[in-house]
Copies of this chain bind each other. A is one copy, B any other.
């Protein structure tokens, strides 16, 4: 058997690494499966080398077959920042932030997009398409530019303007779709089918892109001195990041490099929480959310038409003895300021939800003080500064000492 293939998560049907989105047989989610044992030595060597600056350090674990097709802007290799003031305030001595805002386009999406666009080159495609709440849009335009491909991008009308500008300046062809993210998802899928474009929508639709998310697990393993954290908290829309990180740790475990797996906490916004709703009701079935209403636009995904994505995340939550929790907009905004004012980490609302979730879960004693905790900070504050910095009232003075003094209260 070759070293990698696609497999349907539901009916287990196997395919070669071709361009396919959902199972031909049953419509289930596809996953890249690796024959780890057939290349164990090489893979272990790769995992144990010192971290380099990008995800391609782990190229034997990624589904790009010809290194000549790798498209990179040195994504990944992001820092793990140990909590300082927030550790002291919360009493958690092992609180960490995986700062994904340090990726090229300012969000973790660059990991799956680098893999997805490389795969598009490998398939010889010239046009790529994505549905996005904004970050994947900017990221796809960025990597398509680097690869010399044309990119079509479908976004909800309410996408934050900074992300739209970013996708536009990078040459993306942008079309807004009325309604929620799920409508953009439907149009991207329609367009890919109608015009034969490669669909790099980063839900679970593109089975290659999600492999990029795995690299966060490998990096954490290095950065924590080959230890596995007790908890990982992940901002969750459709949830491929929950899946990818858990898959990475599962691989490390399978290869005998670790003896446990982390507990995964999927954190959603109260205004769009289909996975949490199912988790709390004890159901393994996820119902699509109605109309999202939250400042965390990056994770406002109702899952309408692809509810199975949420069900897969739910399965990981249960398998890892983790949890799913929803936080309010006020808690999210509080988390944005907590991170920025205490740790110097400036995140967008959709990224700070991991810390908001940590606060709630630690206050409820689900996560305990002695445990090690990683909050994944998925995107930079500059991506969506709106809600955290509206109507600033900043004084204006002339270059004059007396005017200055009247504004300084010591």
Contacts and interface: CB of A to CB of B under 8 A. Distances in A.
Given A162-B382, A191-B404, A340-B170, A146 B177 contact: no
A170 to B, nearest CB: 5
A186 B169 CA distance: 36
A297 B405 CA distance: 27
Interface stretch (A98-106, A245-253, A288-296, A315-323): A98-106
Nearest to A51: B53
Interface string A377-410: 0001111010011001011111111001101101
Interface in A143-170: 143-146, 148, 152, 157, 162, 164-166, 168-170
A357 B152 CA distance: 32
Contact of A79 (B53, B81, B398, B404): B53
Nearest to A147: B344
Contact of A195 (B168, B194, B195, B410): B410
Contacts of A85: 148
A74 B79 contact: yes
A84 interface: yes
A15 interface: no
Contacts of A179: 398-399
A142 interface: yes
A73 B77 contact: no
Interface of A: 50-51, 53-54, 73-74, 77, 79, 81, 84-85, 99, 102, 104-106, 138, 142-146, 148, 152, 157, 162, 164-166, 168-171, 174-179, 183-184, 186-187, 190-191, 194-195, 336-337, 340-346, 380-383, 385, 388-389, 392, 394-401, 404-405, 407-408, 410
